[in-house]
Amino acid sequence: MADITYDTSSRCWILQMEASSYCFGLSEDASSLKHIYWGPYIASAVAVEMARTQVPLKRPFASSEGAIREEYAPWGRMRFSEPSLKVEYADGTRVIEWVFEEHGVEQSKESQTLWLRFRDRAYPLIVTLYYRIYDGHDVIERWGQLENTGGSGPVTIRQALSADWQLPVRKRYRLTYLHGRWGKETQVAETLLGPGKIVLESRQGMTSHQFNPWVALDPDACATDESGEVWSAALAWSGTWKIVIETTSYGEVHFVGGVNDFDFRYWLGEGTRLVLPAFVGLYSKEGFGGVSRRWHAYELEHVFPEPPEAVRPVLYNSWEATAFSVNERNQMELAEKAAGLGVEVFVVDDGWFGARDNDYTGLGDWTVNPEKFPRGLNPLIARVNALGMRFGLWIEPEMVNPDSDLYRAHPDWVYHFHQRSRTQERNQLVLNLAREDVQAWVFATLDGLLSEHNIEFIKWDMNRYFSEPGWPDEAGRNPERVWLDHVRNLYRIIDELRCRHPHVAFESCAGGGGRVDLGILSRVEQVWPSDNTDALDRLRIQEGFSYAYAPRVMMCWVTDCPNFVTKRTVPLRYRFHVAMAGALGIGGDLSRWTQQEMEEARGFIAIYKRTRSVIQNGLLYRLRSPRAGSVAATQYVARDGSEIVLFVWGHSQQFGETQVTLSLLGLEEEARYTDAVSGTTYSDVFLAHHGLPVSLVGDFDSHMIHLVRAAPSR
Ligand code: DGJ
């Protein structure tokens, strides 16, 4: 049971979670919060004793605030490490001096939320810090709220991060993070920390392909995938963000994160509040695998909009097959074929609207193209539904092509500066979603689309980063707020659409995996991790993705060969096995698939449907990393332990090694498991200690093994 207590004698708060504890206390003069403990579970009495025995750190050239390890540091006094909060008051005062006022705990069925209120001694700023923990989990959601209580004009916020995480002092930490670019997202990178700062960030207006807002730190680089202490954190924010990992000259490591302060300024008007996004932290002593499984469990239960046991349907998407040349005839033909395979959602991608024959035109004109769909979309939707599938549609509502009716009518609706060019990328510009009229227009357009058609799936795309993020009409009235308001209004639109059209599922796509984070994941059912659908490259992208996010939301398509990104050709079976490791989709041109390929695909989809609840929602073990050699393997265990799915991929055979033996993990003691295909039965000891031999012959061979736990013999 999650539990939060306050010890009055030592003035410390103790957060007790499933297998970890967290503790911090109030300084003597009530002007700061000092971090005390974050690690494996300890009794509350031990935490209190630690709080009592805290020895004040004496450091030349630093005040007491600058020396203690603060939970959340407002800039001011002798603080020189990365602060969490920096504001400017209307009279020019630029530092905060606050004092603790009050605290409380709010209970809900599954969580407890601690709040602590601070007030500036002289100015009308109240800062409330929040900590939320959940029964059965080890995550701590932390965020803050800033409130201008009025009387002294607006408070200008220069930097407002969500949390400061302090790590126990160890010899040296290793940082693991996810980086990439278009077509190469979520690549696992690691580096040993030395004195100084590492900044991971997005200045792109969205989460970005370059870095994903997720980190993991382990002491002395000794954690493996299944052992060792790891502290991890992830941001629930889909706009510009930053995480700063800092090692002080005394060897202490802390990291702060939240909305990026680059080019940022936010006027907090009198009587208004700003709620900051959550920066979620998590501890595990079971290595990176333990961390991932904890992230996945938290996401399934408390982040994703669907219940933990829900499964994503098998999807078909027409993009790689028909690109912009969609029309009623070719989509109907693809739909017939897709239905024959067992597909459950049929999605028409880009090209169905306006004058959209290529990427130069049409974005912003969200009316059905009359040449491509003379009868509108409804006859196609009716056919898709009659074939037993849901209908899905691609949109990119935050964008406009200069060659569009929308732009011709509203050239001021895009981000721009006076006297500056409007940089086009993919021939498009970004709509200023911070504007009320643009927000209202986007909502009304999509609401209309969803009201007039039986659309049950929306792929929400975003194919460029921000440039010239100006808003000339608001000059002198805080136009820099667009960095925040674009995302807040995006969230508002999706939330409102979900409310009005609860049967519609959403996918977040941003030219692949440019917008994958806990913020967007709390309002969409799935994400598109990468435009790169090459099966071999995907193994690396999917591995990195799995460090932070659950397989259920990871959409993976089987597409045609040679692959459009890598020009590589790999067997259909291998492509299926890679795509089946997440939420399965088909993206190939089915009109060109042979009878034999269709037959094979039908078989894979049928097996996938039988096993997908284990794959999408089970416990994931990364047995062999695709970074480590020519064989990769991932194992999924049903949460009740009753089934196991194992994928093994051999990419390039060398030295005649035609067999790999894999020791399985997460097995039940004294249980027996039966191979669902061959009927062979294995003991847990055999699978875990001897290991399961799997033969891999030649290049791009792969296997899926489905084991079912046998009923215990009496
Ligand atoms: C980028 C997406 O990632 C692709 O899947 C596809 O939807 C195109 N946009 C369409 O323009």
Catalytic, out of 461, 485, 517, 534? 461
Question: Which tokens is 440 given?
Answer: 């209202």
Per-residue pLDDT tens for 547-606?
999 999 999 999 999 999 999 999 999 999 999 999 999 999 999 999 999 999 999 999
CB 655, CB 634: distance < 8 Å: no
Residue 435 and residue 429: Cα distance in Å, rounded? 15
Tell how strand 643-650 and strand 681-683 pair up: unpaired
- In this structure, the residue with its CA closest to atom 2 of ligand 1 is 511
pTM, 2 dp: 0.97
What is the secondary structure of 570-607 as a DSSP string? --HHHHHHHHTTSEEEE-S-GGG--HHHHHHHHHHHHH
DSSP class of residue 564 equals: T
Best substitution site from 461, 516, 526 to test ligand 1's pocket, by max atoms within 8 Å of Cβ?
Answer: 461
**Could you tell me the pLDDT band of residue 495, with boundaries at 50, 70 and 90?**
very high
In degrees and rounded to multiples of 5, residue 24 shows phi and psi of -150, 160
Catalytic, out of 485, 531, 537, 560? 531
Best substitution site from 185, 206, 316, 319 to test ligand 1's pocket, by max atoms within 8 Å of Cβ?
Answer: 319
Which position has the higher pLDDT, 59 or 665? Answer: 665
Per-residue pLDDT tens for 110-143?
999 999 999 999 999 999 999 999 999 999 999 9
- Maximum Cα–Cα distance across the chain: 82
Q: Which amino acid is at 516?
A: V
Kindly tell me the burial class for residue 422, based on how many C-beta atoms sit within 10 Å of its own C-beta (0-12, 13-18, 19 or more): middle
pLDDT at 714: 47
Best substitution site from 326, 528, 538 to test ligand 1's pocket, by max atoms within 8 Å of Cβ?
Answer: 528
Cα Rg of the chain (Å, integer): 26
Strand partners, 662: 692
397 CA to centre of ligand 1 in angstroms: 13
CB 665, CB 688: distance < 8 Å: yes
**Could you tell me the pLDDT band of residue 363, with boundaries at 50, 70 and 90?**
very high
Active site residue 461: yes
CA dihedral 326, 332, 336, 342 (to 10 degrees): 60
Nearest 5°: the CA angle 247, 253, 255 is 95
Ligand 1 atom with minimal separation from the 359 CA: 11
Handedness of CA 622, 626, 630, 636 (dihedral sign): positive
349 CA to centre of ligand 1 in angstroms: 7
CB 181, CB 150: distance < 8 Å: no
Handedness of CA 432, 435, 439, 445 (dihedral sign): negative
Active site residue 531: yes
CB 544, CB 533: distance < 8 Å: no
pLDDT at 59: 85
Tell how strand 266-268 and strand 155-166 pair up: antiparallel
| b/e burial code for range 364-390 (CB count within 10 A of at least 16 → b) | bbbebbeebbeeebeebbebbeebebb
Per-residue pLDDT tens for 226-268?
999 999 999 999 999 999 999 998 999 999 999 999 999 999 9
Residue 666 and residue 636: Cα distance in Å, rounded? 9
**Could you tell me the pLDDT band of residue 636, with boundaries at 50, 70 and 90?**
very high
- In this structure, the residue with its CA closest to atom 10 of ligand 1 is 350
Per-residue pLDDT tens for 432-443?
999 999 999 999
CB 235, CB 519: distance < 8 Å: yes
Strand partners, 557: 585
What is the secondary structure of 418-482 as a DSSP string? TTS----BTTBEEB-TTSHHHHHHHHHHHHHHHHHS---EEEE-------S---GGGTTS-GGGH
pLDDT at 713: 55
Tell how strand 230-235 and strand 211-219 pair up: antiparallel
Quick one: average pLDDT of 666-691?
A: 97
Strand partners, 242: 201, 258
- In this structure, the residue with its CA closest to atom 1 of ligand 1 is 511
Report how far apart, in Å, the C-alpha atoms of 334 and of each of 191, 273, 331, 384, 421 are.
47, 50, 5, 10, 42
Element (H, E) at 45: helix 44-52
Closest listed residue to residue 663, CA positions, set 693, 702, 705? 693
Q: Which amino acid is at 453?
A: H
Per-residue pLDDT tens for 320-330?
999 999 999 99
**Could you tell me the pLDDT band of residue 712, with boundaries at 50, 70 and 90?**
low
Q: Which amino acid is at 706?
A: H
Residue 384 and residue 390: Cα distance in Å, rounded? 7
Asked whether residue 61 carries a pLDDT value surpassing 80, the answer given is yes
Question: Which tokens is 674 given?
Answer: 């039966």
Share of the chain above pLDDT 70, in %: 100
> Which amino acids bring their CB within 6 angstroms of ligand 1?
319, 349-350, 394, 461, 463, 509, 511-512, 528, 531
Outline where DSSP puts E strands in 193-329: 196-202, 211-219, 230-235, 241-247, 253-259, 266-268, 273-275, 279-284, 315-317
530 CA to centre of ligand 1 in angstroms: 10
Residue 454 and residue 474: Cα distance in Å, rounded? 39
Nearest 5°: the CA angle 697, 700, 706 is 80
